Structure 1
């Protein structure tokens, strides 16, 4: 999946809380992939007196992204809460045909050209020329997996510049709100073996285009916290 940042919206040092938004256009924008026609559906709803985002996916993929500009420093906590209706029977973080998740939080980092080879730089330049979009660098994907053990980190089956982190796994907590906190600096170092560059985007995404399955997910506020 091609993740890009073509919007004219200015990046921010904070993430707009879903709980205070009057529209999904406030601080977030659609994350659409050029090769996927069916898009997941996102809407603001109120549950138990709190406003959250409800995402519905059925053989579809798309997301919502908040553009940010944040230096991670020595430690930076990403906190969010989420709930899913079910996990995918055919989901498998290690295989392309199973690379679907009822819920995921995607953290994109600035591209570091000095660390990339000639062919990687040329490929990125070609894509940017075709789509007129700036591409981020490495990424962490915090996923609600179906079988990957919680805390395990594996490379995305499509690209090793994206690492998948099992924040939750399996059906045990489906239908329940779960709060997650992850130190993205520590996770980046474990995943890529180096200090992370500047954050350029945080996204939520519910997708099922590879498995063709269906799910509903709910996302509460997503925030970045300095310890």
Structure 2
């Protein structure tokens, strides 16, 4: 089996689980409008320090959503913490990988992320410790200190089609790496000297999808996942995740009309 396909299948195990469990959970009912700027999907402010928001979870192959606590230990964990009166999510790994996921397709009364109306995704994050020497374009070093996945759809074989936005240890911003139906886009990098500082990322995910897959994005994506790992390098990662918003594109034509 080709190395790139081998690594893609490892990622597939994560995104495929999200697809199977999509009926089990939804975007927070507490998601709130921010006026013309968009909608806050998650800001972690209503979650107690040391806990996790109940509507995020770890998806199982059975299609059920399990509490994150069952899949965490000292070497792989998420938890909400607080600094200067603001709460945020922290992810840590030591030679392991951990993810938590949230549906975006409106199942069970959740908010539908309509990409025609809200094509942009904005979030804040902070790399505290990036896995040493990691780079997403080399299988033996493919760790990511912080990543946000958007899973858009499945192909005719039922395989997920996703974009993984990464905070890379070593690759420059703008790097794109392909793994079959997964595209990795580096949007922040340890090269930039911002480790330890909050960074805001905003992407037009519809334009990104069109660019990296060469086709129009679906109207509604499947879900969003947060991720940190240090499995390949056997090192450590620590990253903080802040507010996540979906935002409109002003005077943007319907993407299906292009």
TM-score by length of 2: 0.71
- Compute the displacement of 1:48 (Å): 1.3
Corresponding residue number in structure 2 for 1:143: 166
Range 5-14 or range 146-155, more displaced: 5-14
Range 83-92 or range 200-209, more displaced: 83-92
Listed as ranges, the gaps of 5+ residues in structure 1 are: 114-120, 125-134
Greater relative contact order (CA < 8 Å, ≥ 6 in sequence): 1
- Compute the displacement of 1:32 (Å): 7.2
Corresponding residue number in structure 1 for 2:239: 217
CA distance in 1, matches of 2:27, 2:195: 32
CA distance in 1, matches of 2:53, 2:26: 14
Residues 62 and 207, structure 1, Cα contact 8 Å, conserved in 2? yes
- Compute the displacement of 1:74 (Å): 7.3
Could you tell me which of 28, 48, 51 is aligned with 2:56?
Answer: 28
Range 163-172 or range 24-33, more displaced: 24-33
Could you tell me which of 189, 194, 212 is aligned with 1:169?
Answer: 189
Q: Secondary structure at the match of 1:190?
A: helix
Q: Secondary structure at the match of 1:191?
A: helix
Corresponding residue number in structure 2 for 1:129: none
Corresponding residue number in structure 2 for 1:152: 175
Could you tell me which of 199, 205, 227 is aligned with 2:221?
Answer: 199
- Compute the displacement of 1:87 (Å): 2.4
- Compute the displacement of 1:80 (Å): 0.6
Range 70-79 or range 181-190, more displaced: 70-79
CA distance in 1, matches of 2:118, 2:215: 13
Range 14-23 or range 100-109, more displaced: 14-23
Q: How does 1:71-86 map to 2 (within 5 A)?
A: 71-73=114-116, 76-86=119-129
Let me know the Cα RMSD of the aligned residues: 2.4
CA distance in 2, matches of 1:25, 1:86: 23
Bigger share in helix: 2
Q: How many residues align?
A: 202
TM-score by length of 1: 0.80
Q: In the TM superposition, what whole-angstrom CA distance separates every residue of 1:6-28 from its partner, at most 9, and x where no partner exists? A: 44534349633322334524321
Q: Tell me whether 1:9 sits opposite 2:24 in the alignment.
A: yes
CA distance in 2, matches of 1:111, 1:58: 31
Listed as ranges, the gaps of 5+ residues in structure 2 are: 1-10, 32-40, 62-70, 106-112, 250-258
The 3 A distance-change label for structure 1 pair 75 and 43 is closer
